[in-house]
Amino acid sequence: MNILELKNITKKYPGVIALNDVSIEFVKGEAHALVGENGAGKSTLIKSCTGAVMPNSGKIVIEGEEFTSLTPQLSESHGIGVIYQEFNLVGELSVAENIFLGRAIRKGLVVDKKAMAREAAKIFEQFNIDIDPNALVSSLTVGYQQLVEIAKALSQKARILIMDEPSAPLTSAEAERLYEVVEKLKASGVTIIYISHRMEEIFRLTERITVLRDGQKIDTVKTSETNMNDLVKLMVGRELKETYPQRKACISDEVLLDVKNLSGNGVSDISFHIRKGEVLGFAGLIGAGRTETAELLFGAAKRTEGTVLLNGKEVSPKTPREAIDSGIALVPEDRKGKGALMDMTIRSNTSMAVLERISKCFVIDAKEERRLAEEYKQSIRIKTPSVEQKIKNLSGGNQQKVIIARWLASEPELVIFDEPTRGIDVGAKSEIYTLVNALVEDGKSVLMISSEMEEVMGMSDRIVVLCDGKISGSLDRKDFNQETIMNFASQK
């Protein structure tokens, strides 16, 4: 039984066809994956279902009832719920208050907090979730906040639950809990539309997969009748011969960065070095101190002890500007909060780190700024009709590419990549890996922080493992072993 049908959905923006005559059927009680490269049309499709976007043509059919477009209220009233990558929770309210936000249960004119807590507890009990309905949301881990978002959707009687990259911010243990809840939701008859760039969970959780590419539906396949290589080929329109592309042997004996006894920002006594032409991986669990160390190197946090030598000379950046001038660049983990200025253009975001270089008498050379943005648009394949497009209108992967372009323009000697491929499709990942290889082959050095074990092992020449703000182990490439890394990460 089809609970939701999308018939010939088309959505056009100036210069871009986001969706072109897309038709998909979703069956009650199944988990149906939507996959494709960033910019393939996945976000526009789900926004059409939730009423956030109005298609130019086509029909949306919910349990036999046809609509040419939906509003958020109409979508919700017909049982469509959505969990976005960025949570819509209020940290200073309780779990129960968040679940019933805007729909508070009342006793007369007074909000009945006890009744809301009871109803929240019923939902949690149904799925064996151990969360105190009276706890403040701000006190919960990211994984439990994700479960609160699911409970909020279920309290609205959602029969179709759209999950957009739900495991992206989660630890391995939290992701396992999420998978258990997804299975229970399916068993209870809820239809899951699951969007993820993690192929392993797509094959684990879903019954069918629809592939989108450049705004068009390429195919819908049964999960059990396909494999990862065939799926990737459908997504990118070509074969990716190697997940982690080979690079030339380019590591020098010369040390670029030498860090000794670095402390501050929650880490202590951190010592390591990076040679020219080397990719050093930082592994560890969330909260281990990887990002905190990167912030110290980039001048974004205060150092209390230790020395940092770059090309044999001591550097002590107190601000990111000083770090940039020293030859250090940081592609941050939080691309929307700390990386991109969302209301500015691709051109302005690209040139931000080199404004002094492209200015004359304190006036930006607009022609040079545009040439720079166009150069990187072409070289790292940023999908956009124009560099005058605001970065907020790009897909996540293309936003990441613009941030990388900014730092490449600054011509750094050391590039720190903090979770560079989080929420990015396999095609864009491959391009970023190729870009990393090109940097080190050119004599630059890379510090790569990643929570994906395969990625940090596949891209690194050496790996340093952190745990509780300290270095707990290090491995040369010949000794890479997932179990060993996890033992260091948890100090077993």
Q: pLDDT of 140-159, one tens digit each? A: 887 888 889 889 888 888 99
Q: Which two tokens stand for residue 10?
A: 């088309």
Residue 242 has pLDDT above 70, yes or no: no
Enter the tokens of residue 354.
């080199």
Is the model's pLDDT at 240 over the cut of 60? no
Task: For residues 31 and 190, give the distance between their C-alpha atoms in angstroms, rounded to a whole number.
Answer: 9
Is the pLDDT confidence value at 208 over 80?
Answer: yes
Question: Cα separation of 142 and 137, whole Å?
Answer: 10
Cα(383)–Cα(139) distance, rounded to whole angstroms? Answer: 39
Phi, psi dihedrals of residue 31, rounded to the nearest 5°: -100, 120
| pLDDT 10s digits, 254-306 | 999 999 999 999 999 999 999 999 999 999 877 789 999 999 999 999 999 99
Question: How confident is the model at residue 426, as a pLDDT?
Answer: 74
The tokens for 277 are: 């032409």
> 263 burial class (0-12, 13-18, 19+ CB within 10 angstroms)?
middle
Rounded CA gap, 293 and 465, in Å?
Answer: 12
State the pLDDT at residue 30. 96
Residue carrying the six token digits 């990393």: 436
- Of the CA atoms within 13 Å of residue 19, those in its CB half-sphere come to 26
Q: Does residue 1 register a pLDDT over 80?
A: yes
pLDDT, mean over the chain: 89
Give the pLDDT band (50/70/90) at residue 353.
confident
Q: Give CATH for domain 255-490.
A: 3.40.50.300
| Average pLDDT score over residue span 122-139 | 90
Q: Helix or strand or coil: residue 214?
A: coil
DSSP 3-state of 330: strand
pLDDT of 254 reads 94
Percent share of the chain, pLDDT over 90: 53
Nearest to 162, CA basis, from 305, 361, 316, 26: 26
Task: Give the model's confidence band at 239: pLDDT under 50 very low, under 70 low, under 90 confident, else very high.
Answer: low
| pLDDT exceeds 80 at position 396 | no
Q: Is pLDDT of 241 > 70?
A: no
Look up the pTM and report it. Answer: 0.64
pLDDT tens by residue, 308-332: 999 999 999 999 989 999 999 998 8
Q: What span, in angstroms and rounded, lies between the C-alpha atoms of 3 and 26?
A: 6
- Predicted confidence band at 34 (pLDDT cuts at 50, 70, 90)? very high
pLDDT of residue 195: 92
Sequence spans of domains, the chain: 2-236, 255-490
Q: How far apart are CA 262 and CA 281, in angstroms?
A: 17
| Rounded Cα distance, 75 and 50, in Å | 5
**pLDDT tens profile 435-484:** 899 899 989 999 999 988 888 999 999 999 999 999 999 999 999 988 89
Q: Is the pLDDT of residue 487 over 80?
A: yes
Structure tokens at 230: 């065939």
Residue 91 near residue 138 (C-beta atoms within 8 A): yes
Strands (E), 31-79: 31-35, 57-62, 65-67
Q: Do domains 2-236 and 255-490 have the same CATH topology?
A: yes
> What superfamily in CATH does domain 2-236 come from?
P-loop containing nucleotide triphosphate hydrolases (3.40.50.300)
485 and 475 in contact (C-beta within 8 Å)?
A: yes
Residue 259 CA: distances (Å) to CA of 51, 88, 141, 231:
51, 39, 32, 43
Mean predicted confidence (pLDDT) in 52-62: 95
pLDDT for the residue numbered 424: 73
| pLDDT surpasses 80 at 412 | yes
What's the pLDDT tens digit per position in 67-94?
999 999 999 999 999 988 777 889 899 9
For residues 163-180, average pLDDT: 82
Q: Tokens representing 373?
A: 């943005």
For residue 492, pLDDT beyond 60: no
Closest CA to 219 of 203, 231, 229: 231
Distance CA 309, CA 316 (A): 9
